[in-house]
Amino acid sequence: MDPGQPLPRLWLMTDERLGDGLLAAVRRLPDGAGIVFRHYSLAEAARRALFDQVRQVAPGPILLAAPLELALAWGADGSHGRHRGATSAPAHDLAEIRAAEAAGASLIFLSPVFPTRSHPGAQILGPEGFSALAGETRIPVIALGGMNAARARRLTAAYGWAGIDAWKN
């Protein structure tokens, strides 16, 4: 990602649930919004082809959930994951926040804040738990898990928010 540009505050996390609606969801994003491209279940050639389609219509930076070397080879703006050099990292607790800091992440996706279809039955952080954990780091924290614009307004400690279903309609 361009170090001179501010990090996006709005993000789409892609996954197979978006199905044929993926490109429509990408087109709904406001200018400058970021995308974390996942689609782990696809074979590499199919995943690359879909990534290229998304990259063509992306309104802002696109991070590939993969090692940095692969992300750069594919033309992504950075990588997402639990590895050194990742632009962003997922976290669910303080230990994972510390790991993201140690790996040099510029952004942390903290989840699940609210109940989510991605992780049914998972223990949620809730607004208070999210705020407590987000306050433990200087890295900007993106709220993830059951998020939408209304819920994001309840999270004063969030740098921004990300969703899947929120961008479907």
- Give 148-160 pLDDT, tens digit per residue: 999 999 999 999 9
CA 38 to each of CA 3, 48, 57, 67, 153: distance values in angstroms, whole numbers, following the listed order: 23, 11, 16, 12, 26
- Domain 10-167 belongs in CATH node 2.30.30.110: no
Residue 23 contacts residue 53 (beta carbons within 8 Å): yes
Residue spans per domain, the chain? 10-167
Q: Percentage of residues in the chain with pLDDT exceeding 70? A: 96
| 13 three-class SS | strand
pLDDT tens digit string along 86-143?
999 999 999 999 999 999 999 999 999 998 877 777 789 999 999 999 999 999 999 9
Computed over every residue of the chain, the mean pLDDT equals 93
Tell if the pTM clears 0.75, that is, is over it: yes
| Residue 136, CB-side half-sphere exposure with 13 Å CA sphere | 19
Q: Which amino acid is at 134?
A: A
CA distance 128 to 147: 15
